Amino acid sequence: MDNIILKVCTKVLFTPIILFGLYVQFHGDFGPGGGFQAGVIVAAAFILYAMVFSVEDCKVIMPPKLNFFLLALGAFLYGFVGIVGLILGDPYLSYDVLGSSKEAGQHIGILLVEFGVGLTVCNVMISLFYSFANFNFGKKNND
Amino acid sequence: MTFIIKNLPILIVITPLMFSLIVAVLSNNRLAWILSTFASFLTMIFSILLCFELSNNSNISYYLGNWPPPLGIEYVIDKVSIIPIIIVSVIGFIATLYAHNFFILEIDRNLVSKTYSLWLLTIAGLMGLITTADAFNLFVFLEISSLSAVALVALGSKMDRKALIAGYNYLILGAVGATFYVIGVGLLYGVTGTLNMSDLAQKIPALGLNKSVIVAFTFMMLGIMVKAAVFPLHIWLPNAYAYAPSPVSVLLAATATKVSIYILVRISYTIFGPSYEIYTFESLRYVLLYLAILAMFAGTIMAIFEKDVKKLLAHSSVAQIGYIVLGISLATSPGIASGFIHLINHALIKAGLFMSVVAMGYYTLKRIDVNSITGLGRQVPITFFAFVICALSLAGLPLTVGFISKLYLIKAAFMSEGIWLPFLILVSSALSLIYIWKLIEGLWYNKTNSKSEKIKELPEIYIPLLIISFLNIYFGIDADLIIDNSFIASDALISGIK
């Protein structure tokens, strides 16, 4: 696609989309939002970039290896927050012990867990897009 | 160290889960294998610790995130669930130890570490299925374990493209099963407002013969029966086991269906047992009992006519699942106990058989077919030795675990149904001798006079195999451990009802 308007618009929109994604991410504590929605919004920025420019261009800003690493990291972060609570003497995934007070602990816990969710959802979306974009639909038969 | 003891019920689930995420990003295949082995070893140690911990109390309850049930998710380990926990963790460890050579050979090099990740995820899912006491959490683990198992089956496509179709069938039928289960859970939640299993068991009696509850029971049972491959819902099983990468066949055959049968028991005895006693037991008797008998014969006959050895063993698994379900469907204390005894023993038998058959495939670098095995046993004597032990155990020869389970099954069947049921069990056992003998004969007697050289057997392959064969003999001679625990488990289930 070689449309200058689309390209410029995408370049302008790319950062605000991610910013909005982060807003939804961290707003999840107090109102509608959270990791799932934010992850999809952030992934939408990358997918838009890939569609307007090309999948190869997108792979420069989000290499598949990094993509996969972040995918695992998000889920790992979720589990690790649980394990920290476990080591500090409470059951798995209890956030009370993470902060100075019970409320602070809950806040930190849910923030980190949601961030892990967001990271994983975002990267799962991107890697799904990559795997479909790289799929040779019926091209093998022509060879 | 006390925090480990305190958190054992969750540690057996999150150890493989967290390690699977670490292993996924590694690029070194050997390191991935070492870490996976370490993770499954830790899981096994935790399970054994849990076993000791359980000897002091009747059950261990664990609240996730400190939220008490019925609001929060509760994990419960009791005398019943410890049996599948030990099976999955021990077989999981031995299979992981065994897996490396096969994965290197059968899977693209850059996918091996991801395969280990899926492998650990399957183990984590199975562990979660056993430990959780929350009906919806169970669904989540059902999805984790079966989706990762589907991906593992499909990875066999480098060796044989049919693995893709097998994986696809498994995916679709597995999804249908899981959906049925979650529909049932949804209906139950609608009428009771709770998802905790013991809470459900308390609230269901008040509803009487509520239609939603009956439908929920049917949906849940059917969904899990697909997963457990109870005849005639077993269609996905033979191909999935036959075309999966070799270690995956070992792991799935020994653990996945067993865990599903355990859930079947949980649903019919723990959730619905106390209230719907008549209902549950009638349906167990008039549906599961006859399906189990059909499975015994259908599986055995399919196995007799099958050429491909891995598929043959998979068909025989269908028949063996029939025996287990038969024991459970008798709904008496000795019946359920015999089901559990065979659950444990069949895990040992099938793990050993699949391990020895795939080892032969590894040494000869081809699919093991009934026609191509002539004289192979002489070339790989150690593997053949293990194969014969496990095969005789499958047939139920004295001094092997197979004999113990047949003995108790026949005893239980005679006590509750009279002479006709033991007779049918004996007939199907005799039929199973046909395919077992066909394999042993083919492997040992070399009809073609071709020169057969000895193949050098690898210790990392035959040592796990010999461990499994040893267990097959050991628990055949000294079966007290298995029998006692199975009877404790069945008494716990039955006493929950009374």
Residue with tokens 């049930």: B69
Q: Is A108 on the interface with B (CB under 8 A)?
A: no
Q: Which run of H or of E encompasses B403?
A: helix B401-417
| Closest chain A residue to the Cα of B62, Cα to Cα | A91
**In this predicted structure, what is the pLDDT of residue B462?**
85
CB spacing of A91 vs B7 below 8 angstroms: yes
CB spacing of A79 vs B21 below 8 angstroms: yes
Å from A98 to nearest chain B CA?
A: 12
Residue type, B99: A
User: How is residue A35 written in tokens?
Assistant: 């990791």
Strands (E) located in B360-400: none
CB spacing of A80 vs B18 below 8 angstroms: yes
DSSP state of B205: G
| Closest chain B residue to the Cα of A73, Cα to Cα | B21
| Closest chain A residue to the Cα of B11, Cα to Cα | A92
CB spacing of B21 vs A76 below 8 angstroms: yes
For residue A140, the chain B residues in CB contact (below 8 A) are none
User: Does residue A20 surpass a pLDDT of 90?
Assistant: yes
What crossing angle do the helices spanning B112-131 and B257-265 adopt, rounded to 10°?
A: 20
Probe site for chain B from A93, A97, A112, A117 (most B CB atoms < 10 A): A93
Q: How far apart are CA B291 and CA B298, in angstroms?
A: 10
Q: Is A7 on the interface with B (CB under 8 A)?
A: no
Residue type, B471: L
Q: Which run of H or of E encompasses B62?
A: strand B59-63
ipTM value, please give it.
0.88
**In this predicted structure, what is the pLDDT of residue B458?**
81
Q: Is A127 on the interface with B (CB under 8 A)?
A: no
Please, are residues B423 and B431 in contact by the beta-carbon 8 Å criterion?
Answer: no
Instruction: Select the more confidently predicted residue: A44 or B6.
Output: A44
Residue type, B65: G
For residue A69, the chain B residues in CB contact (below 8 A) are 25
Q: How far apart are CA A68 and CA A65, in angstroms?
A: 5
User: Does residue A26 surpass a pLDDT of 60?
Assistant: yes
DSSP state of B206: G
Q: Is A79 on the interface with B (CB under 8 A)?
A: yes
**In this predicted structure, what is the pLDDT of residue A143?**
39
Q: Is A131 on the interface with B (CB under 8 A)?
A: no
| Closest chain B residue to the Cα of A74, Cα to Cα | B21
Q: How far apart are CA B453 and CA B462, in angstroms?
A: 18
B213: left (phi over 0), alpha (psi -120 to 50) or beta: alpha
Please, are residues B374 and B364 in contact by the beta-carbon 8 Å criterion?
Answer: no
CB spacing of A83 vs B18 below 8 angstroms: yes
- Note the pLDDT tens digit of each residue in B137-157: 999 999 999 999 999 999 888
Q: How far apart are CA B139 and CA B136, in angstroms?
A: 5
Give pLDDT < 70 ranges for chain B. 274-283, 446-453, 496-498
**In this predicted structure, what is the pLDDT of residue B144?**
92
For residue A86, the chain B residues in CB contact (below 8 A) are 3, 7, 10
For residue B65, the chain A residues in CB contact (below 8 A) are 91-95
Q: Alpha helix locations (H) across B204-252?
A: 211-228, 236-243, 246-251
Q: How far apart are CA B18 and CA A140, in angstroms?
A: 38
By CB atoms closer than 10 A (0-12, 13-18, 19+), residue B320 is buried
Q: How far apart are CA B336 and CA B229, in angstroms?
A: 18
Q: Is A13 on the interface with B (CB under 8 A)?
A: no
Please, are residues B92 and B251 in contact by the beta-carbon 8 Å criterion?
Answer: yes
- Note the pLDDT tens digit of each residue in B345-384: 999 999 999 998 888 888 887 777 777 777 777 788 888 8
Q: How far apart are CA B8 and CA B52, in angstroms?
A: 11
Å from A43 to nearest chain B CA?
A: 20
For residue B308, report the phi and psi dihedrals to the nearest 5 degrees.
Answer: -75, 125
Q: Which run of H or of E encompasses B74?
A: strand B74-78
**In this predicted structure, what is the pLDDT of residue A1?**
62
Q: Is A91 on the interface with B (CB under 8 A)?
A: yes
If we measure between CA atoms, which residue out of B417, B414, B412, B261 comes closest to residue B334?
Answer: B412
If we measure between CA atoms, which residue out of B279, B281, B274, B289 comes closest to residue B327?
Answer: B289
pTM of the predicted protein model: 0.92
DSSP B288-355: IHHHHHHHHHHHHHHHHH--BHHHHHHHHHHHHHHHHHHHHHT-SHHHHHHHHHHHHHHHHHHHHHHH
For residue A72, the chain B residues in CB contact (below 8 A) are 21-22, 24-25
**In this predicted structure, what is the pLDDT of residue B486?**
87
CB spacing of B18 vs A79 below 8 angstroms: yes
Residue type, B380: V
Q: How many CA atoms lie within 13 A of B387 on its CB side?
A: 28
For residue A82, the chain B residues in CB contact (below 8 A) are 14
CB spacing of A86 vs B66 below 8 angstroms: no
- Note the pLDDT tens digit of each residue in A68-85: 999 999 999 999 998 888
Q: How far apart are CA B338 and CA B489, in angstroms?
A: 11
CB spacing of B7 vs A86 below 8 angstroms: yes
Q: How far apart are CA A88 and CA B343, in angstroms?
A: 38
CB spacing of A68 vs B24 below 8 angstroms: yes
For residue B24, the chain A residues in CB contact (below 8 A) are 68, 72
Q: How many CA atoms lie within 13 A of B399 on its CB side?
A: 4
CB spacing of B22 vs A75 below 8 angstroms: no
**In this predicted structure, what is the pLDDT of residue B218?**
87
For residue B22, the chain A residues in CB contact (below 8 A) are 72, 76
For residue B132, report the phi and psi dihedrals to the nearest 5 degrees.
Answer: -70, 145
**In this predicted structure, what is the pLDDT of residue B382?**
86
CB spacing of A72 vs B63 below 8 angstroms: no
Q: Which run of H or of E encompasses A45?
A: helix A35-52
User: How is residue B217 written in tokens?
Assistant: 């029971």
Which residues lie across from B485 on neighbouring strands? none
